[in-house]
Structures are given as C-alpha cells and as structure tokens.
Amino acid sequence: MSLSPGRFDLKKIQWLNGQHIRLLPVEDLRDRLLPILRKANFDVDGKPEAWLTQMTAICQEKLKTLNDIIEQTDFFFRELAAYEEKAVDKHWNKEGAIEYMRRLLDLISGVEPWTTEGLHDAYQALAEEQGIGLGKLIHPTRLALTGKSVGPGLFELAELLGKEKCLARMERAVAFIQERGEVEHG
C-alpha cells in the first residue's frame, strides 16, 4: 500500500501491450490484424496468405498496439501521397542527393534474385565500396519506398513490395528530388 494515488502510465501500458504482441504466433497476429486492415480499406483479400503472414512478421517487432499496423503498412496498399518532410530534409535536401539516389536506383535495378538476402548483399557491397555505413544507403531508400523514416526492415519490405513497384517508387523519388532542386535553385 502506498499513500500516493495510482497513476495511469500510457507509455508503460503500450510497452506491455507491445511485449504481448511480440509473443503471439505470427499467424495468430495476422488473423487479429486482418479486420483492422480491412476496416482501413486495404485490399488484404487480394494478397496471398503467405504474403500477409510475411508482412505481419516484419512488422511484429514495431507494433505497440494492433492499430499501429495501419501506419506500419499503408505503403504496401496505397501509392505514396507524400514524404516525411523532416526525412526529406535530412536525406534528400543536400548536395549530391540526386546522384546518390540515381546510384541506388541503378543498384536495385540490377539485384537478382529479388530477395531480402539479394538486396542486403547488394547494399552491403555498395557500402563497402563507398566506405560508408549501410544506414547511409538504407534511410534514403526507405524514404523513397515508404515515404517514412522508420518502419519494417528495408530489405524485407522491398522484397514484399516487389521489384517493379520499388523501381517505380525510386524513379518517383529521383523526380521529386530533381523538381525540388529546380524550384529551390531556379
């Protein structure tokens, strides 16, 4: 017993809930998430069960509540409406960003097989060649593919998005950076 009154700690409750989510078998979690995704008008019924299971698996560690799945996966089901402005400033709003993104576009266009491992190996090789950390390549790519600075693992989400969609989004990001540069310098 304590003389001080009890306190509702939302962060602690969300943390505890996230711990529970991580303990769920991925198939059970997938089945709990599907109604939430359907309610958000995401076309989950058009995706194979194995794809949905893999999507759930790569998001499981990031979820604090079941409803967090919408923000973690919207880019799989909808075209990107915008890019996070803070992330744009950090990763794309600097000298040489357009060339850098073109290099990353060339890199992923040559990745075969289009798997998590194939993508990781290609990025690792470029990072070593450039003498930079892997994050310097991952973060601008994640922004291009998801519009966000955080989310599931890049290579895993890229495999699920598919090569064609990833290439299209990278091309769109290059065009965005180019247009933005022309507006700022023109």
Whether the Cβ atoms of residue 170 and residue 103 lie closer than 8 Å to each other: no
* Residue indicated by tokens 């969300």: 14
Q: What residue segments make up the domains of the chain, in order of their start?
A: 10-77, 85-185
Do the beta carbons of residue 45 and residue 55 sit within 8 Å?
no
Tens-digit pLDDT profile for residues 98-153:
998 999 999 999 999 999 999 999 999 999 999 999 999 999 999 999 999 999 99
pLDDT, one tens digit per residue, over 142-154 is 999 999 999 999 9
Phi, psi for 83 (deg, rounded to 5)? -115, 145
Q: Tokens 């996230």 identify what position?
A: 18
Does CATH number 1.10.10.350 belong to domain 85-185? yes
> What pLDDT, in 10s, does the model give residues 15-29?
888 899 999 999 999
Residue 86 contacts by C-beta under 8 Å, 6 or more apart in sequence?
A: 149
Same fold, 10-77 and 85-185: no
Question: Is the CATH number of domain 10-77 1.10.8?
Answer: yes
What's the full length of the chain, in residues? 186
CA separation for the pair 111, 42 (Å, rounded) = 29
pLDDT band at 10 (very low <50, low <70, confident <90, very high): confident
The model scores a pTM over 0.85: yes
Q: Is residue 45 classed exposed, middle or buried when 0-12, 13-18 and 19+ CB atoms within 10 A define those classes?
A: exposed
Residue 53 has pLDDT above 60, yes or no: yes
